[in-house]
Structure 1
């Protein structure tokens, strides 16, 4: 490499990593728009969750075909990218295969990369066939149109190209092939290039090298806009996941305080409030927009892989209802992105745009179709919790807008007036024992 090449590489690396850091900051800012929640309890269980689910892929293999293929791609993605270290050193200092001094270990390393690259390429092709030819139904729900559908394909094509470039780069590297070390896959591509002269092979190898590293940097920065952001967020998402038993709902602190006050005969409801409390805006019950959700729920939205396992297991969706847990997460992320762009456009302040997550993105019909069965939470391979968002938004409908379905309103009125869900007085509750 000439010094010009080194400078061009440094600029490419600086711009690529700089843009990525900028997007990470924006991502962090958007997640922090959510309410605070303490998820620091039981660290040992949290580390175990992260190790087993994010790193160990334990929930992925519940569906064996997709699970095994995903593990191959996942391991390949992590291990093959170790090769980027060598590329960066070579690019910055003008060396060529600088780590080759490792001798036999280097041969084993590159050989492993080539085998993994071939397996990743094969797995990605199978993924494409499952999506586009077999047309597995969960990939073709109505929310999977436009960019969400194309996004999955873009990622598959990215991976196909990157793995192919890696193998071509090795196959066209004459000194590497002549060393006959660490090239178990690329050596089968050598016959394709046997009629090329040395100069042509050099330019093929250099072109594949440059496009490969540029593609990696483009892929890195595409993650922010893609469902594949879960590559980064799956780890914190599983660590900060809810550890409570499924089906255990959280109580609103403000409501709990009121109930305790009502049940305490010694409490003084007119006791002096803390200084300044009279000027505080009362807390909203439930959630109508993304800022009403907690930061873990917002991270859930960004982590969603759009795999559709949640929706394919949802009994409401299976019976033709409007609800799709995947769509809940996608719509939450879309609204959060819209709020983030609003803040960027208004110099760090959110300007009311007349929209909110409820109604403009997610309809009450979707929310009330949920049976609260937790199937979506159980199915998610990275511990995303769509149900928590649904419950918080239903709380808003009930407690802020009194907009529950008539059946629920009748039941709650009966509980309030009769102490039971049924429409008869407490005096008549035991009449059934006198019936013959």
Structure 2
């Protein structure tokens, strides 16, 4: 019977790891469909971003209460899962509480710390469920989240609550069986636990057989739940648990008000002013701006997969606040949805087959793009260093420079700059004429 359980456990573990690895490879492939971009400067500052923004969640603490709650949920869930190492080894080797004997009192200290964190995670996840579903906070009731995105967030919170409850129930049964001298459990004494010790009266009426059955059921459900969660992550917005770290590392370090120029455009202007600098056979640029996700850089696509859908960007966006259609959160969600669709297309045909769609127009409308004021509020607010503005600017460049699609006011400005070297409708010769009236 024990051998059969070990074989079943190893089989489940292998299946979970293989499926997770396959999905991660697909996401990596999708991100690499973006154009090349070299980001390797200022290593010290990038490590600082990883520590402060990704691990320390610095931007979350602008709202101190929410920052503390989120930090404990995140840190607690990660730290508690150190205990998964023991569960995996127990499952493979057929042991029980493998580290208890070797670590002694330190093992009791660790599990006590895990139990305190588990209780905090459980309580704080319940608070987050209430905030999302009952308090009607504007960024959580936005139509951006209608359908799957809203359910996704709730499923994750409920899963974390269930996993923490299973962990505490398993420990409660285990320590009760130890106290009763049940052979298999008494042979691996762990000492008393803080939280589960107070839960023992709730289960004290159960027989030894019922307690053992409950403990084993919680053990299996806990590890199966973690393996299922592992494979749910790559399909969920909670992939940011993993991608927040590389995204913080690769964040752009230029000042937020500084826009990235296009070398091809700069060279065109340079060669027009100084033709002698133009190469003999200068190839024209293939494309200005971006129409589809393959025209964006891999960093833009990493941003899309890292999006937490928290809505802080949209809540800070002046266009969104004043009722415009633009939502930076939707820009990132649309980009992720489009690159996922492109990935499925490649998987189905073994190569990219044009599906007649594009990120611009089919996912993101002209009206959304024109509403952006380029104020960088969305970039400033994002807790994981995402830059929606960069995607907006590249799509707008394509609209203007490839499709000649701009409002009449913009066209007037462009014409004045081209003819008069300034936004105003005055020739350079007449520009100082106003001084003659002084």
Q: Give yes or no for TM over 0.5.
A: yes
- Matched with 1:374 is 376
Whether the 8 Å contact between 1:106 and 1:182 is mirrored in structure 2 is no
Give 1:325 shift. Answer: 0.3
Task: Give deviations 1:294-314, integer Å, cap 9, x for gaps.
Answer: 000000000000000000000
Whether the 8 Å contact between 2:104 and 2:190 is mirrored in structure 1 is no
Aligned pair 1:254/2:264, yes or no? yes
- Matched with 2:162 is 161
In the alignment, structure 1 segments of 5+ residues that lack a partner are: none
CA distance in 2, matches of 1:58, 1:251: 30
Whether the 8 Å contact between 1:32 and 1:295 is mirrored in structure 2 is yes
- Matched with 1:11 is 11
- Matched with 1:430 is 432
In the alignment, structure 2 segments of 5+ residues that lack a partner are: 181-188
- Matched with 1:198 is 208
State how 1:216-295 maps to structure 2 within 5 Å: 216-268=226-278, 271-272=280-281, 282-295=285-298
Give 1:159 shift. Answer: 0.5
CA distance in 2, matches of 1:24, 1:39: 22
Aligned pair 1:321/2:324, yes or no? yes
Task: Give deviations 1:113-134, integer Å, cap 9, x for gaps.
Answer: 0000000001101101111111
- Matched with 2:104 is 103
Whether the 8 Å contact between 1:170 and 1:177 is mirrored in structure 2 is no
CA distance in 1, matches of 2:150, 2:334: 15
- Matched with 2:225 is 215
CA distance in 2, matches of 1:67, 1:404: 42
Aligned pair 1:186/2:196, yes or no? yes
Whether the 8 Å contact between 2:47 and 2:249 is mirrored in structure 1 is yes
Give 1:434 shift. Answer: 3.4
- Matched with 1:126 is 127
Q: Evaluate the alpha carbon distance shift between residue 53 and residue 268 of structure 1 in structure 2; reply closer, same or farther with a 3 A threshold.
A: closer
Give 1:182 shift. Answer: 4.9
SS in 1 for 2:277: coil
Q: Residue 403 of structure 1: which of 384, 405, 419 is its match?
A: 405
Task: Give deviations 1:89-120, integer Å, cap 9, x for gaps.
Answer: 10001100011011100000000000000000
Q: Residue 412 of structure 1: which of 397, 414, 417 is its match?
A: 414
Whether the 8 Å contact between 1:177 and 1:187 is mirrored in structure 2 is no
Q: Evaluate the alpha carbon distance shift between residue 64 and residue 198 of structure 1 in structure 2; reply closer, same or farther with a 3 A threshold.
A: same
Aligned pair 1:336/2:346, yes or no? no
Give 1:265 shift. Answer: 4.7
- Matched with 1:112 is 113
Aligned pair 1:32/2:42, yes or no? no
Aligned pair 1:64/2:64, yes or no? yes
| Count of matched residue pairs | 428
CA distance in 2, matches of 1:65, 1:372: 30
SS in 2 for 1:232: helix
Whether the 8 Å contact between 2:177 and 2:212 is mirrored in structure 1 is no
CA distance in 1, matches of 2:275, 2:14: 67
Aligned residues: CA RMSD: 1.4
CA distance in 2, matches of 1:211, 1:376: 40
TM-score, length basis structure 1: 0.96
